[in-house]
Structure 1
């Protein structure tokens, strides 16, 4: 098994050491080499670093505050808001955050017919493959990463701040790790695999 698959961890404590631009480029190029449905390559990346982090974090925290005090987009997920606040702190630490969009996406709140919905699912799978490539490429360079979903607590605010077309799907923060987490438990293979092999010996 590839070393990077074995050693990659979700990092939540980053040093303030800057990532060389050539390594950021390497990570992004690894992302766009992912397979995609019908070769549509629907991914789009917005890189946030330096002083631009301030505006991003302000939008993120404003969305969290709205979820707490006003009209909530995720009213059934209030118990996770403390986690979203912690995520904002992590993103503040990380030298680089990448917002990942589905450039062909219809949007979270759009109505779709059956064919459009299948295209949407296929494009999301393609974008997810690109994210995984970036995580492994970062690990190869000794750079830590965190795949982030808490952005959905501030979906409208972040989309407005990003100011770009496409459906926001995720963010990934990158930086040199300031921690060494142990492996998280994984389900045993026989708990998640169903064999349809006609009785062949394994």
Structure 2
């Protein structure tokens, strides 16, 4: 598993070879082994394949159109990332599997929260993020590729409505057989990210 951590990469080119449902299930099962605040396990995973992919793509494209042409933009100061969002959509089209990760305990992206509720929201997001990382590592260990996608928020309303679930969409993961072996991107020096207090 340590090799999988070292070898994990963000994959942006996938073959059209299908991933068996049994393998996807085992990969997600690893996600559910993640630690969670107060053992709430606030996660749900929606696996999109086959004919449902086109519905997902249509919802994303509808949201992208709204975000870039209407007066209602969720991310008006993030237009610098629009080109990257288009690229993410192309990757999602190519990948045979998309896993949407839902925070089932979330009160909502736009909810007015008390300080205590905000802490719970933050803790639950940490828990879901740990599950996502487990999924990425397990997929790598099985020779599969993944891409953790947050560009879905450019189509947040449309994708969330299409998913039709309680809770909040946190991220999407593209999953499949990789057609590339990218080099590791530069990392900060370990000396620059640790502060010792003894």
Equivalent positions of 1:86-105 (< 5 A) are 86-105=87-106
Partner SS, residue 171 of structure 1: strand
Q: Any stretches of 5+ residues in structure 1 without a counterpart? A: 198-202
Please state if 1:148 is matched with 2:149. Answer: yes
Distance 1:26 1:184 in 2: 28
Q: Calculate the TM-score normalised by the size of structure 1.
A: 0.96
**Structure (1 or 2) with the larger CA radius of gyration:** 1
- Are the counterparts in 2 of residues 149 and 171 from structure 1 also a CA contact under 8 Å? yes
Distance 1:121 1:146 in 2: 23
C-alpha distance after superposition, 1:18-63 (max 9, x if no partner): 0112210111100001000000000111110000000000000111
Instruction: Count residues with an aligned counterpart.
Output: 197
The alignment's C-alpha RMSD in Å is 0.8
- Are the counterparts in 2 of residues 61 and 85 from structure 1 also a CA contact under 8 Å? no
Partner SS, residue 97 of structure 1: strand
Equivalent positions of 1:1-202 (< 5 A) are 2-70=2-70, 71-197=72-198
Distance 2:99 2:149 in 1: 10
Partner SS, residue 108 of structure 1: coil
Q: Any stretches of 5+ residues in structure 2 without a counterpart? A: none
**1:79 deviation in Å?**
1.5
Q: Calculate the TM-score normalised by the size of structure 2.
A: 0.98
Distance 1:69 1:79 in 2: 15
Distance 1:110 1:6 in 2: 38
Distance 2:90 2:68 in 1: 17
Partner SS, residue 12 of structure 2: coil
Distance 1:103 1:79 in 2: 31
C-alpha distance after superposition, 1:48-107 (max 9, x if no partner): 000000000000011111111002110000121111111111001001000001001011
Off by >6 Å, runs of 4+ in structure 1: none
Distance 1:85 1:64 in 2: 8
